[in-house]
Amino acid sequence: MTTTVEGSKERFEFGKHATFHLREGWLSKGMRDADKTAGFVADLDTADRLGLGSRMVKSLAFWLEATGVTRAVEVGKSKKKVMLPSAFGRALIELDPYLEFSASLWMAHVNLANRTGTVWNWFFNDFSMRSFDREACSGAFVRHIRERAKNPATLNTTQREINCLLALYARPAAAEAADPEDATVSPFRSLGVLMRNFETGTYERTRPLDKIPVEAFLAAVSAMCGEGGVGTIRLSELVGGRNAPGRLMNLDGDAVNELVERAVSDYAEDGVEIALLGSDRVITTPVLPPERWLKKYFQKAASSA
């Protein structure tokens, strides 16, 4: 029997998405609204302006903040909370306002998965099953919450978190084409980290089919290293460390090594390098926020066009 020290427990977020997973076009719609107005507010006026229901607009407010696209600020004497574009959000508005490039989505995903005390952080770090059904995933999350959460949650609450997670990431198997008219499709399905087999009702973690932009990988490495300066980290930690790109992007050691080699090839002049530290291979990289890596991604694309 294992015991959990009370001090190691954390407070979890439940239900802030209002049971709606992120929909295609929501982030673009929300961040542009936040930019064009005095700030995004999850009220009826915003709902009418964006063509969303009252609960959907509250859900959108959560997704905007959770993916790092906006930041909450208090304005006026009333301290009214509004959402303004973050530095990452402003970079998206300038460079990729409709989130058409995978680098943008990967960085938004990394921001979400790094959010502690959430089902997303749990799934990519603590849930180890590669193939599973909804019941097994939900049961594992319930056990985790009982052991690690300061705030209790009902079974229905934890099941809603799992339902939202699976709807957010799971794409249909190749033989089960998605409905192009489905307005509930999540943009994160295109990352290819989770596949659903509708016949068996099972889910399977998968390696992304498309090449991951090296800048998104370096954004994940930067998030691991902390804020500012230069970071040095063992390659083994990039595979299995908490919030490592290997975990968040479903990458094995070979895939991580390949991305490290690409990072050094593309950004050696910026200080990205591999070295030996004792018997361990380590990568050294400038620790930059996602908006800086996103700008580098588009700069590289422009120079090679």
Give all domains of the chain, ordered by start, each with its CATH number. 26-96 (1.10.10.10), 114-205 (no CATH), 214-304 (1.10.10)
Question: How do residues 182-237 score in pLDDT, each as one tens digit?
Answer: 568 999 999 999 999 999 999 999 999 899 999 999 999 999 998 768 899 999 99
Provide mean pLDDT across the span 237-251: 97
Neighbours of 164 (CB within 10 A): 21
CB 137 within 8 A of CB 196: no
Is the pLDDT at 99 greater than 80? The verdict is yes
Question: How do residues 252-274 score in pLDDT, each as one tens digit?
Answer: 999 999 999 999 999 999 999 99
Which H or E run contains 3?
Answer: none
Q: Cα angle vertex 286, ends 102, 260, to 5°?
A: 55
- Rg over CA atoms, the chain: 20
pLDDT value for 4: 47
CB 233 within 8 A of CB 287: no
Q: Which of 1-5, 58-62, 180-184 has the highest mean pLDDT?
A: 58-62
Neighbours of 18 (CB within 10 A): 18
Percentage with pLDDT > 90 across the chain: 85
Contacts of 77 (CB under 8 A, 6+ apart): none
Q: Which two tokens stand for residue 258?
A: 């390949």
CA 293/CA 291 separation, integer angstroms? 5
Provide mean pLDDT across the span 118-145: 97
Percentage with pLDDT > 70 across the chain: 94
Q: Cα angle vertex 241, ends 187, 22, to 5°?
A: 15
Provide mean pLDDT across the span 67-78: 87
Provide mean pLDDT across the span 31-39: 93
DSSP string, 140-198: HHHHHHHHHBSS---HHHHHHHHHHHHHHHEEEPTTS---TT-TT--GGGGG-SEEEET
pLDDT grade for 304, boundaries at 50, 70 and 90: confident
Choose the weakest-confidence range: 45-59, 73-87, 160-174.
73-87
Give the side-chain half-sphere CA count within 13 A for 142. Answer: 13
Is the pLDDT at 178 greater than 80? The verdict is no
Neighbours of 177 (CB within 10 A): 8
pTM above 0.85, yes or no: yes
pLDDT value for 240: 95
CA 129/CA 138 separation, integer angstroms? 12
Is the pLDDT at 3 greater than 50? The verdict is no
CA 121/CA 148 separation, integer angstroms? 13
Q: Which two tokens stand for residue 299?
A: 């700069």
Is the pLDDT at 94 greater than 90? The verdict is yes
CB 57 within 8 A of CB 47: yes
